[in-house]
Structure 1
Amino acid sequence: MSTHALLIPNVGWPELLARAKRLEELGVTTVWVDDHVLNPAHPEEPWLDAWSVLPALAASTSRVRIGPLVANGILRSPVVLARHALSVDHISGGRLELGLGAGYAAADRVAGVPMPFADVLTTVDGALREMPVLEGFPSLEPRARIPLTIAAHGPRSLALAAKFADRWVSYGGFGLSEAEHFALTRRRAATFEGTSVRRMLLAGSPAVTASAIWSSVAAVTDFVGRYREAGVDEFAFYYPPGPMWSDPRADRVFEEYVTGSR
């Protein structure tokens, strides 16, 4: 089973790089980076730009896959976003996973909305699938296209994910009880039954996960098992988990779980 980790870029580059390298040592499948103009929860905190961080991670790691979770579709034009993706994929030697979403944070709206999300998806997916789709848009290395992960929650975006995505990702929702979160995730995951789309859940922060999964390895294992029964194939966890939970056990439990699940 694939285990992924999401880095929140609210620390300096040396610390963020150290976290990414530790995750690579632990054997996680993908190190993802959050993509916003500002920290959505704490706009006053420092924040590094995802598409500045990703090429640096590409050059500083060797095995782990990398990507934005998710590239914010309202911050860049589809062509610029596709060019970012192609460049980082080239630098990393083909290790990029492109996550893409419509954006939800109010602070990101200052960038404007370049076009409807469906058009963003069409342009980006086409550019990554068959190069060159646009005149003057050559691929650096002709090969299979970059895998596309799409964040989706509503019926229209779920339908777009079923059409375009290699992987669907959801955090469930904010402020939900365990029962509400589980039922909603199961209903959304059912959208992809009968398709080849992998289904991934972002979890581990108290903001989106009501249960204290980092209290023990058994707790996170139970959480993963229940959601696998609901149709989830893969899990991405916020990293590091310790500051999220203010629990000294969290980091140890995370590492024991990741190394034990390989």
Structure 2
Amino acid sequence: MSVHALLIPNAAWPELLERARRLEDLGVATVWVDDHLLNPAKPAQPWLDAWSVLPALAAATSRVRIGPLVANGVLRPAATLVRHALSVDHISGGRLELGIGAGYAAADHAAGAPADLAGLAATVHDGLAGRPVLDGFPGLAPAPERRVPLTIAAHGRKALEVAARYGDRWVSYGGFGLSAAEHLALTRRRIAYLEQARERPVRRMLLAGSPAVTAEPIWSSVAAVEDFTGRYREAGIEEFTFYYPPGPMWTDENADKVFEDYLS
């Protein structure tokens, strides 16, 4: 089972870098960075741009994989997104994981046109392979022996079909305001539909660990985290991304320690 972490870029760069390096030392598979115009939950907070943070992380780390979770299709044209991705993949020595989604935050939609996920995914998929989107702009491309893995956020049936067609990985946060039972049942239904639609292997990942999307106090103990992940693994989830650090999001003073103990 792979465990990843999501950085919320609402801290100064030295602190974000310290967090990323700590996560690399802890052995997480990927350090993801949230991608919005501003913090959807607290718009007045400071906020760093994901595609400015990612190349800096690429240069300042050496082992951990990095990427946006997820690159917001509302904010950038697909060709621009592909160029960002190929550049960061080059800087990191092939450590990029590219997540994409249609975007949900009101502030993002106010700043740009709604994304058509199918068109976005098709263009990005082709662009990562060096096909039409970058014709006439040779520049960088992934080395022949590797491919930038594509993670697609999807929740509705049409979006799940897009993830099944183009994604190497599907990711979901479940939903806001759901009980534990509702969240798990909904995740099971989405996995079942994804399995029906897919024509090749698609890994299944859950974003969890914030009170906004996880009703249970999973950071109360390592046993609580293991109980949570065990139920979702039984449902078909193969990978987990947890918000990091969990401490500021929970009243439990031991949340950060539980996270580290869980990984060790």
TM-score band w.r.t. shorter chain: over 0.9
Deviation track 1:6-61 (CA, whole Å, cap 9, x = no partner) reads 00000100000000000000000000000000100000000000000000000000
Partner of 1:40: 40
How far did 1:133 drift? 5.1
Once residues 224 and 7 of structure 2 are traced to their aligned partners in structure 1, the CA distance between those partners, rounded to angstroms, is 22
Partner of 1:199: 204
Identify the match of residue 169 of structure 1 among 168, 171, 187: 171
Partner of 1:157: 159
How far did 1:132 drift? 6.3
CA contact (8 A) 1:151 1:169 kept: yes
Once residues 79 and 129 of structure 1 are traced to their aligned partners in structure 2, the CA distance between those partners, rounded to angstroms, is 12
Report the residue type matching 1:209 in the other structure.
T
Question: Which segment is superposed worse, 132-141 or 216-225?
Answer: 132-141
Question: Which segment is superposed worse, 129-138 or 4-13?
Answer: 129-138
- Verify: 1:142 aligned to 2:143, yes or no: yes
How far did 1:136 drift? 1.9
Deviation track 1:157-214 (CA, whole Å, cap 9, x = no partner) reads 0000000000000000000000100000011112233641000000000000001000
Deviation track 1:201-247 (CA, whole Å, cap 9, x = no partner) reads 00000000001000000000010000001110000000001111121
What does 1:108-257 correspond to in 2, within 5 Å? 108-113=108-113, 116-131=116-131, 134-138=134-138, 139-143=140-144, 144-193=146-195, 195-257=200-262
How far did 1:131 drift? 4.4
Aligned residue pairs, count: 259
Report the residue type matching 2:43 in the other structure.
P
The 3-state SS of whatever aligns with 2:121 is helix
Report the residue type matching 2:153 in the other structure.
A
Unpaired segments of 5 or more residues in structure 2? none
Partner of 2:24: 24
The 3-state SS of whatever aligns with 2:134 is coil
- Aligned CA RMSD, in angstroms, stands at 1.3
Q: Percent identity?
A: 72
Deviating runs (4+, > 6 A) in structure 1? Answer: none
The 3-state SS of whatever aligns with 1:137 is coil
Question: Which segment is superposed worse, 28-37 or 244-253?
Answer: 244-253
Deviation track 1:87-110 (CA, whole Å, cap 9, x = no partner) reads 000000000000000000000013
Once residues 148 and 48 of structure 1 are traced to their aligned partners in structure 2, the CA distance between those partners, rounded to angstroms, is 23
Once residues 142 and 237 of structure 2 are traced to their aligned partners in structure 1, the CA distance between those partners, rounded to angstroms, is 33
Question: Which segment is superposed worse, 190-199 or 23-32?
Answer: 190-199
User: What is the TM-score with the length of structure 2 in the denominator?
Assistant: 0.95
How far did 1:258 drift? 1.1
Once residues 142 and 134 of structure 2 are traced to their aligned partners in structure 1, the CA distance between those partners, rounded to angstroms, is 16
Once residues 189 and 130 of structure 1 are traced to their aligned partners in structure 2, the CA distance between those partners, rounded to angstroms, is 31
Question: Which segment is superposed worse, 112-121 or 96-105?
Answer: 112-121
Question: Which segment is superposed worse, 43-52 or 182-191?
Answer: 182-191
The 3-state SS of whatever aligns with 2:84 is helix
CA contact (8 A) 2:117 2:162 kept: no
Once residues 115 and 11 of structure 2 are traced to their aligned partners in structure 1, the CA distance between those partners, rounded to angstroms, is 32
Report the residue type matching 1:68 in the other structure.
P
